[in-house]
């Protein structure tokens, strides 16, 4: 009574397949797999280039600060 038998799980699986369909379940599985792969690649790339990315971020912040103080104006002459 405490645990489900294999027959209970087969009935649940059959209901899920009937509700969602095999094509949608396949798409969900492939989307989940690509998301996990992308997460793993991001973690691997992030830890390898962590020190170089902080220097790049500081340079980007300096440029952004310089752009905020610079005013670009096109002067027009009155005729």
For the chain, which residues make up each domain, given as ranges?
21-45
Contact partners, residue 17, CB within 8 Å, separation at least 6: 25
72 against 40, higher pLDDT: 40
**Cα–Cα distance for residue pair 79/74, rounded to 1 Å:** 16
Secondary structure class of 79 (helix, strand, coil): coil
**Cα–Cα distance for residue pair 1/10, rounded to 1 Å:** 17
61 against 26, higher pLDDT: 26
Predicted confidence (pLDDT) per residue in 15-45, tens digit: 998 998 988 888 988 999 999 999 999 888 8
What percent of the chain is modeled with pLDDT above 70? Answer: 62
**Cα–Cα distance for residue pair 13/18, rounded to 1 Å:** 9
What percent of the chain is modeled with pLDDT above 90? Answer: 25
């Amino acid at each position: 009574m405490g645990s489900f038998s294999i027959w209970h799980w087969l009935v649940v699986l059959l209901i899920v397949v009937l509700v969602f369909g095999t094509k949608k379940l396949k798409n969900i599985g492939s989307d989940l797999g690509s998301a996990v792969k992308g997460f793993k690649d991001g973690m691997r790339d992030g830890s390898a280039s962590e020190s170089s990315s902080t220097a790049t971020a500081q340079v980007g912040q300096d440029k952004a600060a310089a752009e905020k103080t610079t005013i670009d104006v096109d002067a027009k002459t009155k005729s």
